Structure 1
Amino acid sequence: MYTIYVGDKPIILTTELSKETDFKSFLLKSVNIGKVIKTLNNTDLNEVHLIHKNPDKLLKKFLKLLPNVVAGGGKVYNSKNEILFIYRNDKWDLPKGKAERKESIEETAIREVEEETGVKGLKIVKPLPTTYHIFKRNGKHKIKVTYWFEMKTNFEGQLSPEENEGITKVEWLDEKGSQEAMENSYANIRVLV
């Protein structure tokens, strides 16, 4: 099973047929993804289920429905066990960004965290779950596939938000601050924090 977010509403990729209650089901092989996105955005449905009999093909078939944007990002801890957050588009988020040519996804994640926050000395500890969300750019829907990594740093320097990317704040938040930030964040980020 996979979850792809449209805003805060999930599209669930599954092999199981369930009785529809506050969600609607469609067959993955014949679905009109534009119609699904519109339905999620314009109705009070909580979620949509896309069904396919083969669990190994669920994600592969779904990712063919729209252009993909591959990104890398980090959930970064400092020596005080605080988490690094950015504030962009009036929401708290974790630093991430698009992969560039000839760059490993780990290199992307480290580069993007550095660029968006000014934090240096990043070490990847382990991979975290990959997230998927649908966004609209220039009138076209795309799927952002973000590979996340837990990172550590002993950096104690000045944090500097990448303002030309719309980032207005960068902050280290303790557990309480992180939980408060999650009240004004994205569903796919809540999965990680």
Structure 2
Amino acid sequence: MQEISAGGVVYRVNQEGYQILLIHDRYGKMTLPKGKREGLETEEENALREVLEETNVKGQITQKLHTIHYTYQHPLHGEIEKTVHYYLIEAIEGEIKPQLEEIQHVGWYSVEEAYLTQKEKGYPNNHIIFDKAYDALQLNKGV
């Protein structure tokens, strides 16, 4: 069975500089907002909808970052081949508010804190996504 999802590295710039949006998911990991495609929506529509649903932040895509592929075992459907399309998304508006049925917390993190949090508490397959986002924004990872 195949599953297609999309999400993104959401960023904003304020008086403190760049900040990155991270979520604390229901599995206890720090990660990026993403989710399954619905109906006939495009990858881009999927990514923006999931960011809005999970975090209450409306964004605009600035570029595609990367696509990752992995498999996992679903208790009812067996092996799932998953494809996730990631985008770099600039936050436009919205006060952060977690979608509590799916995530425990959502927050803005400094560039260095977000990168370190991903390395220590995130999913390993997201490391490349962070690297590509930081390179695209010309951000120092602080490590």
TM range (shorter): 0.7 to 0.9
Question: Which SS does the other structure have where 2:86 is aligned?
Answer: strand
Gap runs ≥5 in structure 1: 1-66
Report how far residue 188 of structure 1 moved: 1.2
Report how far residue 177 of structure 1 moved: 1.1
Write the distance in 2 (CA, Å) between the matches of 1:131 and 1:175: 22
> What is the TM-score normalised by the length of structure 1?
0.61
Whose relative contact order is higher, 1 or 2, with alpha carbons under 8 Å and at least 6 apart?
A: 2
Q: How many residues align?
A: 124
Q: Residues 90-109 of structure 1 correspond to what in structure 2 (within 5 A)? A: 90-109=28-47
Partner of 2:124: 187
Q: Residues 9-158 of structure 1 correspond to what in structure 2 (within 5 A)? A: 67-80=1-14, 81-88=18-25, 89-120=27-58, 122-139=59-76, 140-155=78-93, 157-158=94-95
In the alignment, structure 1 residue 176 sits paired with structure 2 residue 101: no
| Bigger-Rg structure (1/2) | 1
Please identify runs of 4+ aligned residues in structure 1 that moved more than 3 A.
Answer: none
Gap runs ≥5 in structure 2: 131-143
Report how far residue 138 of structure 1 moved: 2.0
Counterpart code for 1:87: H
